[in-house]
Structure 1
C-alpha cells in the first residue's frame, strides 16, 4: 500500500513534527460538503489525527460537525454558528463549501483548513501555494495531471475504448479544470470525449445514461465532487451497462471499475497537523498549501467481471487495493 505523502508547495518536504501535549481545550468546526452518511468515513479520521497531537474529546477537544449534503444554505448556516461559537479552526472539504466558508469568515478571520479542495489557487481561495495569505490553508488535490494516468489505466482494461464521457457539476468552479484536463488526455490518446455538466446529482439518471449511450459512450469518468452520492451514481451507470471511474476510493467501493487519485479521508486526518500549528500560534497565511505527490489506485475485480472485462496484470501490479 502506498503511503499518502504531501509536500508543501512544489518542492518542500515534510519535516518531523513534535507532538507536544496541548495546554487548553480547543474547539474545531468541521464543515463537509458531503451527505451525513459519509460522516462515519471522515470524522473518525479527524479524531484520530487530533489524538496524535494530544487533542481528545472531551478533555482537550470539542468538535462541531456538519455534513451539508451539497446544500449551500446548510453550509452557510453551519459556518455562521461555528463563527458565533468562537471555534478555533474550521476544517472544510470540497471547493463549493470552502468558497462559502471563506466568505462567512472574512470578518472574524477564523482560521480555515481545507481538507482537501481541488485547486485553491485556480479558484481564488488562496493567493499562492507557498504563502496562501488570508485565513485559509490546507491541502489541494492539484498536482500532477492525473487524467492521463486514469485514461491510460482505462484503456489498458478497455483496449477498444473510443468514446468516453466526463460527468461534472455546474456547481463546482473546478469542473472546467477537470474537463479540460481530461480533454487534453483524450485528444492525445485519440479518444473522443463527451462532456456533460449537471446541476445536481439527481440529474445523473437513467435518461442521461440513455443519451450518453446513444452518443456511443462506452465508459464514464465521474467528477469526485459527487462522492456522497457515489453509490446512486455508480448504480445508475452500471444499470445502463456503462463502467465508471473516478478519483476517490469510495467510488470503487460502490462498484466503479477503478479509482485513481487522492483519498480524502486521509486528508481529514492530516488536517490535525494544520490545526495544531494554528492553535499554537502560526497564521494560516504562513502555512503553505500541501500538494499530494502519491496517489492510490483501487481496482474492482467484481465490477470488471460484471462488464465482461479482464483486469490485465499490468494494472493489477500497480494497484494499491484490489476489491474482490
Structure 2
C-alpha cells in the first residue's frame, strides 16, 4: 500500500538540481559509460535493475556503449577491473559504494567518476573540494548521511516501545564517521548500544546469537554496498533470535527486514546515469555538483512484525509510505 511521501529538508547542492531528467545537450556523446559494482552486476540486483532502465531509456547499448563490471566481492580486484574499463575507452565511470569509489579515485585522476554513495565525509578526506564544485574527477550521489541516525533510532523506539539496546551493524571498511554519529545519537537519546562488525559473507545466525538475552535489542544496519545480496539471510537470522531490524533502503524490507527509512531509490539512483550522460556530452566533472537526496521513504513489513510479535502503532502505519503485508 502506497502512502504519502516524506519530503526531506536536506540543503545541499542538489537543491538546485531537480530529479527530473534535464534536456539533453546538443553535443554528441564522447565515449562509453563504465559501470562498476563491488559485488554483483546481476540483472536482478536492485541497483542494477533501476539503473538499467535509465541507461536503456537514454539509448545506451549494453556491451557496446555501456560496459558493466563487478568486483565479485573482492575489493583488491577492483583496480584491475577499472583499468580494464579504461583500456576499453570508457569516458566516464559510474561506481557504486564508498569502498569502490575510493579504489576508482586512486586508480585514475583523469577519467570522470560518478559515485553512487560516497564516504561519510568526502570533503574531509579530499575526495571532493566541496559539494557545489567538486574540483577533481569525482562527483555523484551522496547517500551516506550521518544525520539519518537519529531518525532510525526514533523509529525503532516508536516501533518497539520497550527497547533497551540497539546494535549497530557496521562494516569497518566504511570508516567510523557514520558509526560514531550513530553512537552519539543513541547516547543523546539514552539508548544502550553495541557495535556488531559485519559483512555480506557472515554467518548471521551465529553473529546475532550474542544479542540474545533479557534485554530487548534491535539492529540498525549502517550503510554498505552489497547488503541486498545478503538481506534475506540477514532477515531470517534476525527473526530466529527475535530481533527487530532497521535498514537504509527499501528493497531489503521485501526480504523480511522489519523497517527501512532512506532515499527513494527509484527516483534518486537514475541521477547517476543522467550525470554520466551529461559528462559524456561535455559537462566538466569538476563543475558538476555532488547531489544529496531530497525524497525519503519509510517502509514497514507487517509480516515480519507479526513473526516478531510486534504490534505496530496506528501512528506509524499511517506515516508509512508502504506497508508490506
Per the normalisation by structure 1, the TM-score is 0.87
Shift in CA distance, 203/142, structure 1 to aligned 2, threshold 3 Å = closer
Tell whether the 8 Å contact from 2:94 to 2:113 is kept in structure 1 after alignment: yes
User: Which residue number corresponds to residue 133 of structure 2?
Assistant: 131
- The change in CA–CA distance for 1:209 and 1:45 in structure 2 (over 3 A counts) is closer
**How far apart in 1 are the matches of 2:32 and 2:13?**
31
- For the pair 1:210 / 2:212, whether they are aligned, the reply is no
2:168–2:220 Cα contact (<8 Å) kept: yes
Q: Where do 1:64-213 residues align within 5 Å? A: 64-106=67-109, 109-119=110-120, 120-143=122-145, 145-173=147-175, 176-198=176-198, 200-213=199-212
Deviates more, 1:207-216 or 1:299-308: 207-216
Whether 1:30 and 2:35 are equivalent positions in the alignment is: yes
Distance 1:202 1:282 in 2: 39
Provide the rounded CA distance (Å) in 2 between the counterparts of 1:307 and 1:31: 37
Partner of 1:291: 292
Q: How many residues align?
A: 317
Superposed CA RMSD: 2.7
Matched, 1:230 2:234: no
Report matched runs for 1:257-276 at 5 Å: 257-264=258-265, 266-276=267-277
> Within 2, Cα distance between the matches of 1:3 and 1:193?
28
2:111 aligned counterpart, secondary structure = coil
Tell me what 1:50 maps to. Answer: 55
Distance 1:133 1:316 in 2: 44
Determine helix, strand or coil for the equivalent of 2:246. Answer: strand
Aligned ranges for residues 296-315 of structure 1 at < 5 Å? 296-315=297-316
For the structure 1 residues 256 and 138, does the alpha-carbon distance in structure 2 shift closer, same or farther, using more than 3 Å as the test?
same
For residues 9 and 59 of structure 2, the distance between their equivalents in structure 1, rounded to whole angstroms, comes to 22
TM-score normalised according to structure 2 size = 0.87
- Deviation, structure 1 residue 181: 2.0
Q: In structure 2, what is the Cα distance between the partners aligned to 1:7 and 1:207?
A: 38
Following superposition, the deviation at residue 6 of structure 1 comes to: 10
Structure 1 unaligned blocks of 5 or more: none
Task: Report deviation, 1:39.
Answer: 5.1
Q: Does structure 1 retain, via aligned residues, the 8 Å contact 2:262–2:296?
A: yes
Compared CA separation, residues 4 and 139, structure 1 to 2 (3 A): farther
8 Å CA contact 1:93–1:116 kept in 2: the answer is yes
